[in-house]
Amino acid sequence: MFTGIVQAVGQVRAVEAAALVVDAPPSFGRGGFDLGESVAVNGCCLTVIASDGPLTFDVSPETWRRTSLACLRSSDPVNLERAMSADGRFGGHIVQGHVDATGGIVSLSAQGEFTVLRVQAPAEYDRYLIDKGSITVDGISLTVVEPKEGAFDVWLVPHTLSNTNLHARRPGDGVNLEFDVIAKYVEKLVGRTINQTS
């Protein structure tokens, strides 16, 4: 499990048929990595298969198909987060690293010191977007502001913009989206209850 607090920004070294190779800052790998360890890369939970030098991750055909990882190119920045430890701080919200859908950046608009990011999302997920609710965009835990049909806004503080891959993003770029898992469970449980009582 992750919390959506990006710990480092890595750089893609290579995109292979069944693997992604990423150069991570030395501070991110402090203490070393266990083979099989989970790391969120742009919000997608991937398995470390080599860490002697760059980090190498297995990537399945399903992951290539369901996420924006297939759009990555050499030298692209990627958000990195190690799985949360039992005694770690819960700084964001519950993030599984299971990407629900891909969206697209519509705009990045400066508002004083802050930046408003507008993201287009598949309309079928509108029901999971509520004002001041949580959303994961490329692995970043963000707060939804005034969701619209097929889109939503988030306000980025300067720290988030400069310490994630969003500083290099432009309109038209694809992003990975993970919607609030609690909302999805509640929807399923309520739906089941309604079906049983009707």
Per-residue pLDDT of the chain (198 residues; tens, 9 = 90+): 999 999 999 999 999 999 999 999 999 987 789 999 999 999 999 999 999 989 999 999 999 999 999 999 999 999 999 999 877 888 889 899 999 999 999 999 999 999 999 999 999 999 999 999 999 999 999 999 989 999 999 999 999 999 999 999 999 999 999 999 988 889 888 876 666 565
Residue that is written with structure tokens 């089941």 in the block:
192
Q: Which long-range contacts (CB under 8 A, 24 or more apart) does 110-114 make?
A: 111/155, 113/157, 113/158, 114/155, 114/156, 114/157, 114/158
Q: Are 56 and 19 within 8 A, CB to CB?
A: yes
**pTM greater than 0.95 (yes/no):** no
**Any idea which fold 8-82 has?**
Elongation Factor Tu (Ef-tu); domain 3 (2.40.30)
Domains 8-82 and 101-187 share a fold: yes
Give the C-alpha separation, 163 to 165, whole Å: 7
For 101-187, CATH gives 2.40.30.20
The SS3 call for residue 26 is helix
**Domain residues of the chain, as ranges?**
8-82, 101-187
Q: Are 17 and 38 within 8 A, CB to CB?
A: no
Tell me the H-state helices in the chain. Answer: 61-66, 158-162, 181-197
- CB-count burial class (<10 Å; 0-12, 13-18, 19+) for 108: middle
Q: Are 39 and 55 within 8 A, CB to CB?
A: yes
Q: Tokens for 160, please give them.
A: 């988030």
